[in-house]
Amino acid sequence: MSTIYANEQWWQENGQAWVKEIEKRRNTHPLYGIQEIVLSDYFSHIPKGSKVLEFGAGFGRHAKYLKEIDDLEYFAVDQSPTMKLAYEQYTGSLDNYFLIEPRDRLPFPDNYFNVVFTVSVLIHINPEHIQNILRELQRVAKNVVLHFENKYVEHAQLAYQDHGGCWMHCIPELYDLPVNIYNELSEEQDLYTVQLNPNSDYLFDMSAIEMGRLKVAGSYLKKGLDTFEGEVKWRQERLEKVEEENRTFQEELKRCKECLEKVEEENRINQGEIKRYQELLKVAKNELKSVGSENVLFRISLIQYKDLVNESENRVALLESKEKEFNNYINTLNCELAAIKNCCSFRLLQKLWNNRMLVALWKTVKKISK
């Protein structure tokens, strides 16, 4: 597979969107109508059974009406897969359609087609590639090669950066054969024809008057469209401004929604935290309540303990008092005992007691002696 350049890649990727773009342009560009009038008139007057090839058929704008011409064998080639899809949708058929690789040899024998033509295609071909492409078109053509392309320029030049590059070519310099230029058809494009043999059946013979009227009609129509466009321009500008304001509003709304979603998410998180803290607070309250109950019990126990202590202290004091009284009583008794011991009566009794002991001892001895 050959290298794909930027201009080729753009068309390979964006072909399907081109249908709407052309339909939009048709409303303000008379050129499209002029192209279709000229081509339909030309192909309606060439010999029956002629084979024609459109190089760069795109989505099939010309294929759709050229296929309606009786006894005209229409063929199409294009290098864009997305254009192929658009072509099938627009024309309803892929008969005689060939998807090709960019800049490759065409899949047809020499002199296979009576006419080969392009419409607004060469503008999308890089100047370094166009010479070989035109040689290939000339190879498969038998009678005429026809180009509806840019206005005549003396040298190739880059016209726009759009679509990977758009170039204006000096088409007559690209052929070794004479090139006829019809510049009276449109203010935007010229028609170029290359006659490959003297067969007059395929000559482009639209009269100068017809071409002039087409150009004049196109010019008036273009001016009318420009005037109309000017009259409605302020509406368009207002609409664009409203659309821009709406886009800004939508972006702001989107941003607000994102902020709201963020706040709601934070709120959900906070609600979860609040719930968790409430549960912790509930547990703490229960614990505090339990501690309070325990504290009440402790206070009651403390009061009871203090009462017991007071009672014990009172008992101790009472016992100490009684102990003191008892000690005093003992001291009194000891004093009295000492007094008794020191008195004569006690001594006498003591002696008598001792005598009793002697009597008892004597009686005992007496019994033993018996």
CATH number for the domain that contains residue 106? 3.40.50.150
**CB–CB of 121/56 below 8 Å?**
yes
What is the pLDDT confidence band of residue 231, given thresholds at 50, 70 and 90?
A: very low
Q: Say if 366 falls within a structural domain.
A: no
Residue 228 pLDDT greater than 60, yes or no: no
Same domain, 186 and 252: no
- pLDDT at site 209: 66
Reported as a pLDDT band with limits 50, 70 and 90, residue 206 is confident
Contact in structure between 175 and 144 (CB atoms under 8 Å): no
Q: What is the pLDDT of residues 117-169, one digit of tens each?
A: 999 999 999 999 999 999 999 999 999 999 999 999 999 999 988 888 899 99
Q: Coil, strand or helix: which one is 166?
A: strand
Q: What pLDDT does 229 receive?
A: 47
Question: Do 274 and 255 share a domain, yes or no?
Answer: yes
For residues 112 and 56, membership in a common domain is answered with yes
- Find the range with the poorest average confidence among 27-36, 219-228, 245-254, 317-326: 219-228
Asked if residue 185 and residue 58 are part of one domain, the reply reads yes
Rounded Cα–Cα distance for residues 203 and 146 (Å): 10
Reply yes or no on whether the pLDDT at 218 is more than 60: no
pLDDT at 200: 86
Do 243 and 143 lie in a common domain? no
Any domain includes 365: no
Q: Domain for residue 369, yes or no?
A: no
Residue pLDDT, tens place only, 338-358 = 777 787 676 766 776 666 666
Give pLDDT tens digits for 181-197. 999 888 899 999 999 99
Neighbours of 237 (CB within 10 A): 10
Beta-strand runs (E) in 218-285: none
Closest of 109, 123, 127, 130 to residue 53, by C-alpha = 109
Do residues 318 and 199 both lie within one domain? Answer: no
Residues 78 and 170 in one domain: yes
Answer whether residue 39 is part of any domain: yes
Q: Do 267 and 353 sit in the same domain of this protein?
A: yes
Domain boundary among 173, 206, 231: 231
Higher per-residue confidence, 223 vs 7: 7
Residues 35 and 97 placed together within one structural domain of the fold = yes
302 in a domain, yes or no?
Answer: yes
Rounded to whole angstroms, the maximal C-alpha distance in the chain is 203
What is the structure's pLDDT at 217?
A: 66
Contact in structure between 87 and 60 (CB atoms under 8 Å):
yes
User: pLDDT grade, residue 213 (50/70/90)?
Assistant: low
Instruction: Identify whether 46 is part of a domain.
Output: yes
For 259-274, the pLDDT digits (tens) are: 888 888 888 888 888 8
Neighbours of 189 (CB within 10 A): 21
Same domain, 225 and 195: yes
Average pLDDT over residues 255-262: 87
Range of the domain at 291: 238-360
User: Mean pLDDT over residues 51-69, rounded?
Assistant: 97
The overall average pLDDT reported for the chain is 85
- The contacts of residue 195 (CB under 8 Å, 6+ apart) are 143, 144, 177, 178, 180, 202, 203
Which H helix or E strand runs over 141? strand 141-150
b (16+ CB within 10 A) / e for 264-303: eeeeeeeeeeeeeeeeeeeeeeeeeeeeeeeeeeeeeeee
Tokens describing residue 175: 């052929």
Is residue 1 a part of any domain in this protein? Answer: no
- What's the whole-model pTM score? 0.59
| Helix, coil or strand: residue 160 | strand
Q: Is position 23 within any domain?
A: yes
- Domain edge (last residue) among 231, 252, 274: 231
Distance between CA 166 and CA 173 in Å, rounded?
18
DSSP secondary structure letters along 57-125: -TT-HHHHHHTTSTTEEEEEEES-HHHHHHHHHHHS--TTEEE--TTPPPSS-TT-EEEEEEES-GGGS
User: What sign has the CA pseudo-torsion 149, 93, 103, 203?
Assistant: negative
Q: Per-residue pLDDT tens for 292-315?
A: 777 767 777 778 878 777 877 888
Q: Which of 317, 51, 349, 325 is nearest to 202 (CA)?
A: 51
Domain count, the chain: 2
Q: Give the whole-angstrom CA distance, residue 314 versus residue 320.
A: 10
What H or E segment, with its residue span, contains residue 37?
helix 31-45
Domain termination residue (choose one: 209, 231, 253): 231
Q: Are residues 186 and 220 in the same domain?
A: yes
Give yes or no: residues 105 and 253 share one domain.
Answer: no
